[in-house]
Amino acid sequence: MIFFFLPQVPIIDAQDKEIKLPGGLTTIEKDFPAFEGIIPAGSVALVGYTVGKYTAKAFPNDVSLSLNLLWVAVLAAGDDA
């Protein structure tokens, strides 16, 4: 099994500005600043991801999934912030 990943998933600070749904999700990385530091325990976050389903020609009876983490938007930081 082969896994591909980005070395760092963008963590977005969305605590002080409303995310326009659903259209704002496509530009969230440009519209919001990066979250500084470690996300504290008890925080609320929105996770952007995609799921793809495909069948390989070599194994037509098997279905495969690709799971891709795009970004994490912190909506409310926990008490440790």
Residue type at 76 in one-letter notation: A
Does the pLDDT at position 3 exceed 80? no
Does the pLDDT at position 81 exceed 60? no
pLDDT in tens, 35-57: 999 999 999 999 999 999 999 88
What residues have CB less than 8 Å from 34, skipping those under 6 apart? 10, 11, 12, 13
In whole numbers, what is the pLDDT of the chain averaged over residues?
A: 88
pLDDT for 56? 85
Q: How far apart are CA 20 and CA 42, in angstroms?
A: 24
Residue type at 21 in one-letter notation: L
For 14-19, what is the mean pLDDT? 93
The helix or strand, by DSSP H or E, that contains position 28, with its residue range, turns out to be: helix 28-31
Does the pLDDT at position 80 exceed 90? no
Tell me if residue 70 falls in helix, strand or coil: strand
